[in-house]
Amino acid sequence: MHIKSAEFVVSNSDVTKCPKDRLPEYAFIGRSNVGKSSLINMLTSRKSLAKTSGRPGKTQLINHFLINDNWFLVDLPGYGYARVSKSTKKVFQKFITQYFEHREQLVTAFVLVDIRHKPQPIDQEFMQYLGESGIPFSIIFTKADKLRPKAIENHVEAYKNILLETWEEMPNYFITSSSKDIGKDDVLNYIDGLNNSIVID
């Protein structure tokens, strides 16, 4: 898939105010500082479509971006923020779960994971929530440029071993690096394939 157009549409914390279009949506979510904004900018070939920040927890709203006039890329707030209050976290968590439970246009979620780290309980808990809620998702391992190929292989294998303790099979996954454009075509072609299989009412 070649992205010809990518435009910001709306930000909000109220799922009922999300776009009314029946266009397919793909939601991106992960822990703070996992490289979500950089990944979105890489996928869309835009330097600042999603605002990047050195301060974790910068994305605090549901952000809709219209891609090629026929699908939405949805940038969701991270979970496990470093510098927001507990009361604010509760609000985030509430509208994140409302989004996943009520947004019928959602085709699949992409859970971003920093490939350099061991499996984090908060990531596993979130994937568990998606699985129990029947929400399709893929894992996107980010920052692959920080590791050598063999280390990447070892980290993914370690992740598989831990997930397979509770999952019947390893979820679909991608290896990416925003700075090196690694995995860009894989993710976009996957979305393109899903779009081509959808019949919009």
Per DSSP, 160 falls in state H
pLDDT > 90 fraction of the chain, expressed in percent and rounded? 70
The domain made up of 6-197 has a fold known as: Rossmann fold (3.40.50)
Query: Domain segments of the chain: what residues?
Result: 6-197
Fill in the amino acid letter for 122: I
- Pick from 53, 61, 91: nearest CA to 77: 61
Of 85-89, 132-136, 146-150, 183-187, minimum mean pLDDT range: 85-89
Q: The tokens of 46 are what? A: 């835009």
pLDDT (tens digit per residue) in 120-133:
888 998 899 899 99
| Higher pLDDT among residues 110 and 98, named by residue | 110
Query: Any idea how long the chain is?
Result: 201
Structure tokens at 73: 């890329």
β-strands 137-142, 106-114: how paired?
parallel
pLDDT tens per residue, range 53-65: 444 444 578 999 9
> For 83-107, how does the pLDDT look when each residue is reduced to its tens digit (9 = 90+)?
555 665 565 578 888 999 999 999 9
pLDDT beyond 50 at 82: no
Question: Distance (Å, rounded) from C-alpha 49 to C-alpha 133?
Answer: 30
Question: What does the pLDDT average to over 135-157?
Answer: 96
What pLDDT score was predicted for residue 57?
47
E strand or H helix at 73, and its extent?
Answer: strand 71-75
Query: pLDDT confidence of 33, banded at 50, 70, 90?
Result: confident
Supply the pLDDT for residue 52: 58
